[in-house]
Amino acid sequence: MRQTIRFRWLFPVILAALVFFLPAIARTQLSPDAGAETQAHGRLLLVLPFENHTGQPTLDWIGEGAADIFNRRLDAAGFLTISRDDRLYALDRLGLPLNFQPSRATTIRIAQLLDADSVIVGDYTETGTTLAAKAQILDLHRLTLSPPVEQDGELSNLLDTFNELAWSVAHKLDPSYSVAEQTFLAADGPLHPDAFENYIRGLIAEAPSDRVVHLREAVRLSPGFAPARLALGKAYFANQDYDSAAAAFGQMPKDDPNALEADFYRGLALLYTANYLGAEDAFAFVRAQLPLPEVVNNEGVAASRRGRDGAPLFQQAIAADPHDADYHFNLAVALRKKDDIPGAAREIEAALKLRPQDTEAQAFAASLKDPASASPVDGKDKTAPDDTLPLERIKRNYNETEFRQAAYEIEQMQEMRLAALPPQQRAAKLVAGGDQFLNRGLILEAEREYQAALQADPSSALAHAGLAQVRENSLDLKAARAEAQQSLSLAPNVPAYLVLARMDLQSNQLSAAAAAVSAALHIEPANAGAQGMKRAVEAKGQQVP
């Protein structure tokens, strides 16, 4: 069942986190603003496709595109949104077509099924070459609809239009949200508009072949747009083209937010092509960061299929979710392979208590009672497949939603714990988090961390340096220079000097660039970035006549 129910098997994780964080939380005195921010960001949001009021069916795809942009931007802004897959699941549960435009009452029913706190609805119209869009927030607790937030722009620039609209909605949800509008716009900067259209058309296409055609074109036009690559892998997977699926999933960057889901499906694709070593590695990568029981189970299946002992992994899956019959079944098979007949009988009995009509489990339980089954076979090759035993069961559904919710709650606890630290320590930790996001190219998330650091400690030179780098990446060069200079007025530091050096080099101010690089090297002579910039300045100086 994929209905969104917070915590479920992760309750032990949450409980452990509470035990760890509550003492610090109890000592924390949150300001009214901090409490309001926590409340705003604690809401689970459902974004519905915007309604097409243009009268042109060829523009229907824009509605799904708007929901996609809102989901990606609001997730990065620190909110928690419900995925498209879960939205489609809710429509299916209610017996509604996937392209259904719900009434207000049906919208509320869908949101309640998904446990949402707020719903974002909207529509768009077109006049000539201008696209006008508006969005409203439906509060499920108060049953109130906000006044519309509106944005318009050229149809050719619809990415900017919806990114600007998403930024305005983020401010509606949390008036204290401080990330710059330009950062929202820059988040999709490298994305080719035609690639985005093909990506959305690939998502909504009914024919599998059409999905693949559109998604391949999206990847060709914007190879770095990870959501399109993930969707392409899923399209191949749905077509049972597992070799192509594994290849597409394998090209996802490991630090991308979609990497875990991609490697889960890559592991499945490799399992289906009997590449058990590759499958085990894929599931192990996911498990290291996201120990969902289905991931742990599948790693155990892959290990077992190549002759290794999968019992410890199946036991871990059972510990996380003791009410899943398949995990007990798999552990029974693993224990039987080790000639632990009593243990196997105990686990298969547990599986049958959870699923009494399981005929395969019934037959396996009967075989364990056969006296011949209780006698180990001398000289048996433990690594060879045993055709007399049932195959371990694979979990095919990856549902990160519940984990994301639980992780989200833990993140809020961590924020409260940070609030108990002295301002300078809190700012330092937030800057470190921002640096990690920046290194992954996630500038919106990075700015959120740097802004929080400045709220904690306005004199943080490194937070201003981080913002300078965000502004540089969003091509707001005037603001980038101002932030870098503000940073250096607080304390000399390498990142701020390098921002100035890069901008001066770009504008052919070679003496200024050289001076900034020299200052950076004076602070950190071995800094690789500063050394690289020195070489770049010297090389450009040699090109000047």
Q: Are 154 and 199 part of one and the same domain?
A: no
The verdict on 183 and 208 lying in the same domain is no
User: What's residue 191's pLDDT?
Assistant: 92
Residues 241 and 259 in one domain: yes
Task: Let me know whether 176 and 111 are in one domain.
Answer: yes
Q: How large a percentage of the chain has pLDDT more than 70?
A: 86
**Helix-, strand-, coil-residue percentages of the chain, each rounded to 5:** 65, 5, 30
Beta strand pairing call for 118-127 and 149-154 = unpaired
d(CA 36, CA 119): 19
> Is residue 268 located within the same domain as residue 177?
no
pLDDT at 25 over 70: no
**Is the pLDDT reported for residue 217 higher than 90?**
yes
489 has a pLDDT exceeding 70: yes
Cβ contacts of residue 287 below 8 Å, gap of 6+?
295, 296, 299
> With contact defined as beta carbons under 8 Å apart, do 406 and 14 qualify?
yes
Q: Is 404 helix (H, G, I), strand (E, B) or coil?
A: helix
- Residue 127 pairs in a beta bridge with 130
Helices (H) and strands (E) in the chain, counts: 26, 7
Range of the domain at 212: 192-274
- 526 within a domain of the structure (yes/no): yes
Looking at per-residue pLDDT, the higher value among 540 and 327 belongs to 327
pLDDT of residue 356 exceeding 70, the answer is: yes
CB-CB contact of 450 with 467 (8 Å): yes
The answer on pLDDT for 8 being more than 50 is: no
What's the rounded Cα separation, in Å, for the pair 494 and 396?
48
Task: Express each pLDDT in 257-295 by its tens digit.
Answer: 788 889 999 999 999 999 999 999 999 999 988 888 999
Q: Do 203 and 120 fall within a single domain? A: no
pLDDT on residue 86: 83
> pLDDT tens digits, residue range 242-257?
999 999 999 998 888 7
Name the domain count of the chain.
3
Q: Using CA atoms, how far apart are residues 215 and 404, in angstroms rounded to an integer? A: 26
C-alpha pair distances (Å), 112 with each of 47, 137, 315, 420: 13, 15, 34, 35
Length of the chain: 545
pLDDT per position as a tens digit, 292-344: 899 999 999 999 999 999 999 999 999 999 999 999 999 999 999 999 999 99
Q: Which of 252, 274, 296 is the last residue of a domain?
A: 274
Q: Nearest CA to 103 among 125, 116, 127, 121?
A: 121
Confidence class of residue 1 from pLDDT cuts 50, 70 and 90?
Answer: very low
In a domain, 286, yes or no: no
pLDDT of residue 77: 87
- CB of 223 within 8 A of CB of 232? no
User: Pick from 162, 189, 216: which residue ends a domain?
Assistant: 189
- Long-range own/partner contacts, residues 192-195 (CB < 8 A, 24 or more apart): 192/221, 192/222, 193/156, 193/157, 193/158, 193/159, 194/221, 195/219, 195/220, 195/221, 195/222, 195/225, 195/228
Q: How confident is the model at residue 73 (pLDDT cuts 50, 70, 90)?
A: very high
Q: Is the pLDDT of residue 12 over 50?
A: no
Answer yes or no: is 356 within a domain: no
Q: Confidence class of residue 83 from pLDDT cuts 50, 70 and 90? A: confident
Whole-number mean pLDDT of the chain?
86
pLDDT at 30 (0 to 100): 37
Residue 492 belongs to some domain of the structure: yes
* Tens-digit pLDDT profile for residues 366-409: 999 876 655 554 445 554 455 678 999 999 987 666 656 655 66
Same domain, 260 and 224: yes
- Taking residues 423-450, report their average pLDDT: 91
Tell me, yes or no, whether 159 and 40 share the same domain. Answer: yes
Rounded to the nearest angstrom, the gap between the alpha carbon of residue 203 and the centroid of all alpha carbons in its chain is 18
- Please state, in angstroms and rounded to a whole number, the distance separating the CA atoms of residues 50 and 120: 9
Same domain, 96 and 233: no
pLDDT attached to residue 514: 94
Q: Of the given ranges (100-114, 166-180, 240-254, 517-531), which has the lowest mean pLDDT?
A: 100-114
pLDDT of residue 387: 61
The better pLDDT of the pair 159, 410 is held by 159
398 domain residue, yes or no:
no
In angstroms, rounded to a whole number, what is the distance separating the alpha carbons of residues 238 and 253? 22
- Say whether both 164 and 209 belong to one domain: no
**For residue 418, pLDDT beyond 80:** no
- Dihedral sign (CA 514, 517, 523, 526): negative
Strand 144-145 vs strand 130-139: parallel, antiparallel, or unpaired?
antiparallel
270 in the same domain as 165: no
Q: What is the CATH number of the domain that holds 501?
A: 1.25.40.10
Q: What is the pLDDT of residue 34?
A: 41
Mark which of 189, 204, 230 sits at the end of a domain.
189
CA distance 331 to 53: 55
pLDDT of the residue at 107? 85
pTM, full prediction: 0.79
Same-domain status, 185 and 202 = no
pLDDT given at position 384: 47
What does the pLDDT look like over 458-488, one tens digit per residue? 999 999 999 999 999 999 999 999 999 999 9
| Residue 48 · residue 102 · CB < 8 Å | yes
36-64 pLDDT, tens digit per residue, is 444 454 478 999 999 999 999 999 999 99
DSSP classification of residue 372? G
Q: Position 434: which residue type?
A: G
Give DSSP secondary structure letters for 294-327. Answer: HHHHHHHHHHHHTTS--HHHHHHHHHH-TT-HHH
Cross-strand bridge partners of residue 498: none
Six-digit token string for 405: 């919710």
pLDDT of residue 351: 96
Q: What is the pLDDT of residue 405?
A: 63
Mean pLDDT of 97-112: 80
The identity of residue 429, as a single letter, is: K
pLDDT of 18 above 60: no
Q: Round to whole Å and give the CA distance between 5 and 249.
A: 28
